[in-house]
Amino acid sequence: MKGKGKVDNIWERYTNSNGYAYYFSINSLVALGIYSIVETTWEAQELTEQEITKIENYIESHGNHYTDNSYSVPERKNLILIIIESLNSWVINFKIDNIEITPYLNQLCCQNNSIIALKVQPQVKDGRSSDAHFMYNTGILPLRKGAVAMRYGKTSYPSLAKALRNYVTIEFICDDAKFWNQTVTASSYGFENLYDRNYIPHNGADVAKDGEMFQLATTVLKTTKQPFYAQLVTLSMHQPYDKPIVPATAISQSNQYSAEIKNYLEAVHYCDSELEKFIRNLKEADLYDNSVIAIVSDHDEVDKNVIEHRKRVLPEDKEVALIVLNTPYTIKYQGKLGQIDVYPTLLDIMGANHYLWKGIGQSIFRKNENGQTNFDEMWDISSLLITKGYFKDNNINEIPN
């Protein structure tokens, strides 16, 4: 029996005070998965009439109902979505001892026909990277508590891959697809093909390096029927940073900052270099011009206040990036975005607005900066969509091109 200030079990002791991510760090992914499954079984699975009405009223009042393709690329292009691990926006255009940390991303941010938004607020919760993958692919906010990928990975969701009807869909990841239940979620999000570290030559390491994953993606995409939607997930910038992650450069010789920060900056510098090689390879394979390339961060990690030696953390310290190449527009967006706004933005760019589900967020082209957003309501509606299987009985994925 619960008393005030008491909890019944070790699960609640960890998750109530520190969150699921802390439980995972202490007890491993397997333990997290078991408890996630157990907790899921405690929840009612069917929507009540009142909940259905609440969802439908919200969608009617706040949903995106447009069907025009006013902002799309002029012809049917491939989509390459590159999700970069732990990329804070502040590292772009940042220097240490006059060394650019991201010289290639800096260059892309000055390129024409690109959409640059460096003030994206992370909205991931306990699922961290997996929550970002969920948002970018489904346009739904993750759960406030627990990882969607672990608890509801098998749920039927509308998705970007399903909106891009008749596209070949492929996902490339650096680690084992079992991690964060990615074997299951890849299917739920509509990916027909999945390449994890077991397909990538990686010298027996636990994970493949970004460059190795990019090289495999280049080889596969060269022979893939177009149009395709390819999602690439990097990993080399993942914490911890207590030891060197990649070969050192002059960055490590600096007397500025701690070894941990320099290790993070080295990892960012490495990923930036491998990204440049990948895009150069796309150009050599005649794939670049026929592809929209979206580069996004999965979540923040080393926030700007750490670099500036501030204890107080401001929202802008956590900002992450959205960079979209090969669009009809040259935009440097100065407003605030959330990660939830990426999905409808990509639908707009790809001309996929025939698809009924346009997400909880707003496209960068249609965002009303003066409008009031009730984020609590957005989280509540997203939770109902996820936990009660709202989409399983709807024909939202059957809309033809």
Q: What angle do CA 129, 132, 133 make, to 5 degrees?
A: 90
Q: Is the pLDDT of residue 55 over 70?
A: yes
Grade residue 17 by pLDDT with cuts at 50, 70 and 90.
very low
Query: Does any domain span residue 51?
Result: no
Is residue 88 within 8 Å of 319, Cβ to Cβ?
yes
Instruction: Looking at the structure, tell me whether residues 62 and 123 fall in a common domain.
Output: yes
Q: What pLDDT does 392 receive?
A: 81
Q: What pLDDT does 369 receive?
A: 60
Q: Is the pLDDT of residue 352 over 80?
A: yes
Query: Does any domain span residue 40?
Result: no
User: Looking at per-residue confidence, does 352 or 375 come out higher?
Assistant: 352
Query: Does any domain span residue 196?
Result: yes
Instruction: Looking at the structure, tell me whether residues 296 and 212 fall in a common domain.
Output: yes
Instruction: Looking at the structure, tell me whether residues 337 and 258 fall in a common domain.
Output: yes
Structural domain including 137 reads 58-368+375-398
Q: Would you state the structure tokens that stand for residue 77, as one six-digit string? A: 């292009």
Q: What pLDDT does 103 receive?
A: 98
Instruction: Looking at the structure, tell me whether residues 10 and 148 fall in a common domain.
Output: no
Instruction: Looking at the structure, tell me whether residues 13 and 115 fall in a common domain.
Output: no
pLDDT, tens digit (0-9, with 9 covering 90-100), for 132-188: 999 999 999 999 999 999 999 999 899 999 999 999 999 999 999 999 999 999 999
Q: What pLDDT does 356 receive?
A: 93
Instruction: Looking at the structure, tell me whether residues 88 and 233 fall in a common domain.
Output: yes
Q: Give me the helix-helix angle, 342-349 and 129-138, nearest 10°.
A: 40
Grade residue 5 by pLDDT with cuts at 50, 70 and 90.
very low
Tell me the three state secondary structure of residue 61: helix
Tell me the three state secondary structure of residue 229: strand
Instruction: Looking at the structure, tell me whether residues 83 and 208 fall in a common domain.
Output: yes
Instruction: Looking at the structure, tell me whether residues 109 and 169 fall in a common domain.
Output: yes
Query: Does any domain span residue 39?
Result: no
Query: Does any domain span residue 235?
Result: yes
Q: What pLDDT does 395 receive?
A: 58
Number of folded domains in the chain? 2
Q: Where does residue 2 rank: exposed (0-12), middle (13-18), buried (19+ CB within 10 A)?
A: exposed
* pLDDT, averaged across the chain: 88
Domain holding 99: CATH number?
A: 3.40.720.10
Query: Does any domain span residue 338?
Result: yes
User: Looking at per-residue confidence, does 372 or 328 come out higher?
Assistant: 328
Instruction: Looking at the structure, tell me whether residues 62 and 18 fall in a common domain.
Output: no
Instruction: Looking at the structure, tell me whether residues 62 and 17 fall in a common domain.
Output: no
Instruction: Looking at the structure, tell me whether residues 217 and 257 fall in a common domain.
Output: yes
Collect all residues with Cβ–Cβ distance below 8 Å to 65 and sequence separation of at least 6.
Answer: 358
The phi and psi torsions of 43 (rounded to 5 degrees) equal -90, 145
Q: What percent of the chain is predicted at pLDDT more than 90?
A: 78
Q: What pLDDT does 399 receive?
A: 46
- Measured distance CA(179)–CA(9) in Å, rounded: 26
User: Looking at per-residue confidence, does 384 or 202 come out higher?
Assistant: 384
Query: Does any domain span residue 254?
Result: yes
Query: Does any domain span residue 95?
Result: yes
Q: What pLDDT does 374 receive?
A: 80
Instruction: Looking at the structure, tell me whether residues 261 and 333 fall in a common domain.
Output: yes
Q: What pLDDT does 13 receive?
A: 36
pLDDT, tens digit (0-9, with 9 covering 90-100), for 216-263: 999 999 999 999 999 999 999 999 999 999 999 999 999 999 999 999
Q: What pLDDT does 396 receive?
A: 64
Nearest to 272 by CA among 94, 393, 101: 101
Q: Would you state the structure tokens that stand for residue 342, as one six-digit string? A: 């990426």
Total-model pTM: 0.89
> Alpha carbon of 331 to those of 96, 108, 113, 326: distances in Å?
28, 12, 8, 12
